[in-house]
Chain A
Amino acid sequence: MSLRSIIHSARRKPRSLKNQYRWKLVPRFIWKSMQSFHITLLVWGLVTIGCIFYLSQWMNYRQVAHRVEALETRRSILVTKLELLEVEISYLTRPQRLEVLVGNTMRITSPNPAQYRLSWVDVSSDEQVK
């Protein structure tokens, strides 16, 4: 049975079904199709390809999910390490420590407004000299 004849037989509306819906012809169409080797081959071929595609996608998803999980674990470990480093930074750069260090090693004391006032006077006196 050729495909053309199947479609023709499916399209043909029997007199008994004249006033009925055409979807009732669907099982008949499937049955007729099943009787055709080519169509069966085509259908099963498509189903197989679909299954293989789904399987490959599923495997890919699993693999990616596994990799994401591993990366997330690695990330959380790195974040923890980073946080510890941040804590260390804030501990080492606390203002009270820096002030002592700067005073002891660089002999720098906190600024005084008088220093700035002096620089203002210097600028004005330079201009006067010029």
Chain B
Amino acid sequence: MNQSPRFQLYSFKTRLLTVLAAFVLCFLAVLGRIFYLQILKADYYNEKAKSQHERTVKLDTRRGIILDKKDRILAISVQLKSLFAKPSQVDSPTKVARLLSPIVKIPYHKLLIELKSKNNFVWIKRKLPPEQTKQLQKMNLNGIGFIEEFRRFYPNGNFAGQLLGYTGIDSQGLEGIENKYESLLAGKTSAYIVEKEGMYRTVPLSNIPKKTPDQFSLNLSIDSTIQHFAEKALRDGVIKTQADRGSAIVLHSKTGAILAMANYPGFDPNRYQKFSRALQLNRAATAGYEPGSTFKMITIAAALNEGEISPEQKFFCENGKYKIGNNLVRDTSSHGIMTLKQILKKSSNICAAKIGMSMTPAKFHEYIKRFGFGQRPNSGVAAEASGRVISPKYWQMIDHANISFGQAILVSPLQMVSAANVFANGGDWVPPYIIDHLRDKNGKILNEIRDNNGNIIQNFGKGARSTVIEASVARLVKEYLISVTQKGGTAENAAINGYLIAGKTGTSQIYDQQLGRYSKTRYIASFVGFAPASEPLVTVLVVVEQPRTSYYGGKVAAPIFKEIVQRTLLFEDVLPFPEESNSNRSANSLTVNR
């Protein structure tokens, strides 16, 4: 081919320019890509890189202690060692598995699978008992190590188990007080960042906090000894009556402090996995039940306070049968004309219905609310039930009558005992509480928590009282309640020699969902009262579900009440007085307070 020099030059230049252009294009493409990666997607790749070479190490925090009112430990975090393995560093998995298996009590083949796994880190057993740790430390095996962790320990076992709740494997509160006050007990979580290196080593990037985060200790209003009295009496009572379950609450009458909150069957938070969900519930605060006749004291007090009835008034109890619309209301035995005192003493449903219906539904509903029903008591107990009170707009005549003697209304045991406590406090509703005070890390006692601006976020201890009924009405109803435990009353079994006891029995039928009506075989027996009636110290409620030997509150729940109150009064140095007995004494008699 004959080509002129000019052509050759032109051709060379063209080729050179083409190659140059190609390089420039490539360079521009690379620049564009760099711009895309470094500028446009910078944040995304930064995060991705960080996640690959950095790790946040959370510090295992020691939870605050839960104590009773006398500083006895109810829950505490104990430092224990957890066993881990780095399979790549274990010399002989079979030998190590054979050595570890009998000590940690894990089957050999399961251990071997873990030790042969391709993971860099595997837990073998967490939170080992100290004896096992000592044995394992002596072996000094390669690739096996320990990490210190905290384990929540409840020294009293199933003592107030449902109330306290429990924590999970990572020390997080899962139930009860442990869950409700998680932010206070666990404190603020602290962590530090480490950089991952080759050989799976880590280098701290930020300073490791020297001190564990601050947390609070909680002092409950519970008294361990009184809690024991309540649990023991309840257990014995439930077993004796062959009941399904029971609950008992002991309130300090004047302050509203919850001194005991017991449920049977019990639950051990140390081994929470072994108990069913139903047993973990604190039924004394979370369950709703129809209070039955114990509610009559509310009906009578409301009607007296409203002036709809007078103390001297007499009522005809229809000889045991009373028709309201198409429904029939019955008494357990036929009664004729009775006074208010007799109505409570003999627990007449018909007369209670008549008294309740003397008020308008709206007014009666207002009193029910004032006694604390239909709303959470805000005592600080976890998962409190608010109960269920039908709006007066939807009340039919039979609902009005039923509510008057404690049916067609759902209340929690805590609400009921707080309502009965009104009569022990001269007509004032005293809010119940479970947290007495907090302690910070320096042991300083706190009764409130404030935010950074100094505003109070949460209060602990005694709350503000509210007047529900007049003191004269409360005194009158108290007199009637004393008669209930005296000769001829429904709760003679609650009487204690040397003390005046005021209270009311309750026997309510359980509503059967399948039958669509109240069961004729399943009952809830209850008793609520306070003692000594002259100067009330404790207000106690006992609820027993589905007893089988007898179903009357006076026969099932009253003896349990008696046992709890008798032991509590003597424990609190309230001595019996020879002149004060339940046989026809008035509330003005004396008690000796040593």
Contacts and interface: CB of A to CB of B under 8 A. Distances in A.
Interface of A: 80, 83-84, 86-87, 90-91, 93-96, 99, 110-114, 116-117, 120-121, 124
B79 interface: yes
A106 to B, nearest CB: 18
Given A95-B227, A99-B232, A113-B576, 18 more contacts: A86-B76, A87-B73, A87-B153, A87-B155, A94-B156, A94-B157, A94-B228, A96-B231, A96-B232, A111-B570, A112-B566, A113-B499, A113-B566, A114-B498, A116-B498, A116-B570, A117-B576, A121-B578
B228 A113 contact: no
Most B-side CB within 10 Å, residue of A84, A95, A96, A110 = A95
Contact of B73 (A86, A110, A112): A86
Nearest to A84: B78
B225 interface: yes
A96 to B, nearest CB: 6
A96 B566 contact: no
A111 B225 CA distance: 14
A113 B232 contact: no
Given A83-B76, A87-B78, A95-B228, A116 B155 contact: no
A87 B66 CA distance: 12
9 contacts: A86-B76, A87-B155, A94-B156, A94-B159, A99-B232, A112-B566, A113-B496, A116-B576, A124-B578
A12 to B, nearest CB: 58
A2 to B, nearest CB: 57
Contact of A99 (B228, B498, B566, B570): B228
A4 B159 CA distance: 89
Contacts of B231: 96
Q: Is the interface of B mostly helix, strand, loop or mixed?
A: mixed
A121 B72 CA distance: 38
B167 interface: no
B82 interface: no
B575 interface: yes
A110 B567 contact: yes
A94 B497 contact: no
Contacts of B72: 90, 93
Contacts of B569: 113
Q: List the 7 closest A-B pairs by CB distance, nearest first.
A: A95-B228, A91-B155, A113-B576, A90-B73, A113-B498, A90-B155, A120-B578
Interface string B496-530: 11110000000000000000000000000000000
